Structure formats: C-alpha cells, structure tokens
Structure 1
Amino acid sequence: MLENLQKIILLAIITSILQFTPETSLISQEISGETREDNKEGEELAYKEIIYGDINAPVTIFEYASLTCNHCATFHTTVLPKLKTNYIDKSLVKLVYRDYPLDGLAMAGAMLARCAPKGRGKAMLNLLFSQQMKWVTSNNPIEPLKKYSKFAGMNEKQVDTCLKNEEMLNSVRNEQEKANNLYKIKSTPTFFIDGVKIEGNMGFEYMSKIIDEKLSKN
C-alpha cells in the first residue's frame, strides 16, 4: 500500500512538468569544467553509476543522500570540495554516490541525475545540491529540474521519458531498499569510509582523520 502511494505521489509530481526556461550564468559556471556530451536521440536512458575520482583509488567512500536533504546539500557544497582537493583529485579517495530519496521530489531528481549522459551525473548533482533551496521551494519544482537536465545534455523528450521510466524508478528504489536491508540506513547523509559508518555531516576534519588512518594501512 505504501509503495503504491509513493508511486502515485511521484506520478503526480511528474505530470506537472512545464517547458524549459532559458540558460542562466550560474548553470553555465557549474558545468563549465566538464566536457558536455548530449544524449543522442534514441539513446537508452540507463541507470549510470556516479563516482567522484579514480576508480582505483585505495580508499572508497560510499555516500547515501537525498537531494532534498539540507545536511546533504551542506556536505556537497562545503565538505566535498575539500575532499576533492585533498584526496579525490590526488587519486587517494573515490566517492561513490548512492541515492536515498526521502520523498517523491528527491526521487525525481535522482532519476534525472542517473539518466544524464555519461560523465554528466556529477554536474547534475552539483547543481541540484547548490541550488537546493531554489528548486525545492519552487511552486513548480519540476521546472528547474528540467532546466538543469537540459544543461546536463538531455532534451525535453528524454527528461519526460526518464521521469516516466519504471525501470529507472525501480533501480533507484532497489538501491535504497538494499541500503535499508544491508546497512540499516536511518538518516541522510550516511557515509561508509572503507566500512566505517558515519551518520550525518560530521565535517571535513572528522572524515579526514578516518581517511588518513585508512591510507596509512594501504
């Protein structure tokens, strides 16, 4: 019953989709550091992993987050940049992003980030977290979601197809259920640094100590 209700809520959100709006300088700045690769017409909008850093990095961080979670947004805008500078960009750490949507709106954003062209999922996440208060509090939050998706390389038809894709919806939901069953996730954000569980955004210094300890053993 609960699952059916959640699907009904999500579909209600999706049906409110409006037209794309013009490009903003903020969006251009957000994606300027990455090569744009649009989804080609007819290309399958399959579930894609979102990983920050070298896949062969010795330390792995798994992050479970919701796009409507303000603590998750704080992590992505204040802590993650420091992790990138000190560890990720030096191929010492990789961060694997996992969706844990707390509501239908977060689910819609998660689906769009997963549908983004290869290599564009991170740019989509960065936009959604940095602009969280604007789109979450919007009268029609799907409108900015569509705008961000456009600059991540998706056209309007692909956005609509992604949001109505039950396979994509189930892929995100299955990852969330797996997190519940295996790792007992109770809140967002939750992190695992090579198996060490951290609940909440504990800040860069706290995470850095654990990372340094793990690196010393490699």
Structure 2
Amino acid sequence: MTTIITRRKAMATGAVSGLTLLGGMTGLTGTALAQEAGPDTRAYVMGDENAPLHIIEYASLTCPHCANFHSDVFPQLRENYIDAGLAKFEFREVYFDRLGLWGGMLARCGGGMRYFGIIGLLMEHQADWTQVSSGEEAVTAMRLIGAQAGLTDAQMDECLQDAELAEALVAKYQEHTEEYPITGTPSFVINGEMNSNMGYNAFVEKLDGLL
C-alpha cells in the first residue's frame, strides 16, 4: 500500500509541478472553488442509464490505437448502439504518462457537458500535443484544444494546476485497473467481460449476441 501511495503521489506531483512551471502563461484563478467542491474523478457515462448493454472503455489519451478507435469505430457505435438506447458507454482514463494525466485534467475543465467533446478533440488532434519536444509545447497545444471547446484561460488554469485533482485522478485510475486489470489500451469491458481492442464488425457480433 505504501508503494502504491508513493507512486501515486510521485506521478501526480511530477505532473502538476510541470504545469506549475507554466503558470505564468495566464495567471491562476478559481483554485479555492475547485478545492471546496472536491476533485471530479468520476468516469463519465454517455447514453441511457437503463440500456441493456454497458460498454466500459479503458483508454489512454496518448495512445494512438485509442485515437484510431475514436475516429474509426466509436462514431458507428454511438449512432447504432448508444444513441439508439441499446448501450451506455463509460470512459475510464488510463495514465501511462504525465501528458495523458494532463489531458484528463483538461477534459474536466468544462464539466460533464463538455467532457466527451474535449475527449474527442484530444483524440482527434492527439499528434498536435503528444508529438512535441517539451511540456510547455504540449500544454500550449492543449490550451488551443480547450479554447476550441469553449474553455476560458481561467478555467484551464484552475483545473490544470490542481494538485489535489491530479492525485485523485491517479488514485481513481489505480482503483479502476484493480477492478478490471488491463494489459493494453484500448480495452473494453462489455457487460462485465473484458475484451481487447477490436474493429466495428467484432463489436457488432459481440453486442448483438448479448441483446
């Protein structure tokens, strides 16, 4: 337990200290409100809560295969299963590196209404903020994505420099991977059964077999 806590704090501290070095970019506002409300670590869910199918995706925002899934497969899943009321989709973030953690923090800047939209933009423009030479370049690119989603500089400062949020997200990630151990991303838990990455046709076969 001590080792887990130490690793969690080390990752969170390293992630936030890197962002703190960039704090002069816009100025820090709103942190007191964020701390008073408590960290938002929930796994957001899209779709009908009472849908017969429950799909949980474990994904890293820096994972190219995850980005491919969100561009090539997810739109069809959303149209034919989620929006049709057949499935609810839960997104659980996996943090392999500090950039992935920063992306998760950014996605929460706009609350539940903007979460999936920001996740989609981060996946779509993944190369813009992951294939960079420094943390500063990564955050600059992330801020452009956040602005595209309608976030203000103050909102992004508030959540990106929230050390309590960073540590809580890492703890939630570890909790999720203890519930369903994963060997890679993306991985999918469908009605309680773990599945590795697959294409749309494989999803159709799996999902229709459960309906």
Tell me, in whole angstroms, the C-alpha distance in 2 between the residues paired with 1:50 and 1:144.
24
Normalised by the size of structure 2, how large is the TM-score?
Answer: 0.82
Deviation at 1:131, TM superposition (A): 0.6
Q: Percent identity?
A: 31
Aligned length: 194
2:12 corresponds to: 7
Q: Which one-letter code corresponds to 2:175 in the other structure?
A: K
Moved more, 74-83 or 166-175: 166-175
Gaps of 5+ in 2: 1-5
Q: What RMSD, in angstroms, separates the aligned Cα atoms of the two structures?
A: 2.3
Deviation at 1:170, TM superposition (A): 2.6
Structure with the higher fraction of residues in helix conformation? 2
The one of 197, 204, 217 aligned to 2:200: 204
Tell me, in whole angstroms, the C-alpha distance in 2 between the residues paired with 1:176 and 1:49.
10
Gaps of 5+ in 1: 21-38
Question: 1:133-212 to 2 correspondence within 5 Å?
Answer: 133-139=127-133, 140-199=137-196, 201-212=197-208
Deviation at 1:71, TM superposition (A): 0.6
Tell me, in whole angstroms, the C-alpha distance in 1 between the residues paired with 2:156 and 2:38.
9
2:3 corresponds to: none
The SS at the match of 1:115 is: coil
Tell me, in whole angstroms, the C-alpha distance in 2 between the residues paired with 1:3 and 1:175.
10
Give a deviation string over 1:166-207, Cα, whole Å, max 9, x none: 3321332122111232211221111101012112x2111111
The SS at the match of 2:49 is: coil
The SS at the match of 2:57 is: strand
The SS at the match of 2:112 is: coil
The SS at the match of 2:61 is: coil
Q: Is the 8 A contact 2:107 2:118 kept in 1?
A: yes
Question: 1:57-76 to 2 correspondence within 5 Å?
Answer: 57-76=51-70
Give a deviation string over 1:117-155, Cα, whole Å, max 9, x none: 331001100000011111111340111211222233432
Measured at CA, do residues 79 and 18 of structure 1 come closer, stay the same or move farther in structure 2, by a change above 3 Å? farther
Deviation at 1:49, TM superposition (A): 4.0
Normalised by the size of structure 1, how large is the TM-score?
Answer: 0.80
Give a deviation string over 1:37-60, Cα, whole Å, max 9, x none: xx9xx5758515422222221111
Q: Which one-letter code corresponds to 2:202 in the other structure?
A: Y
Q: Which one-letter code corresponds to 1:16 in the other structure?
A: L
2:91 corresponds to: 97
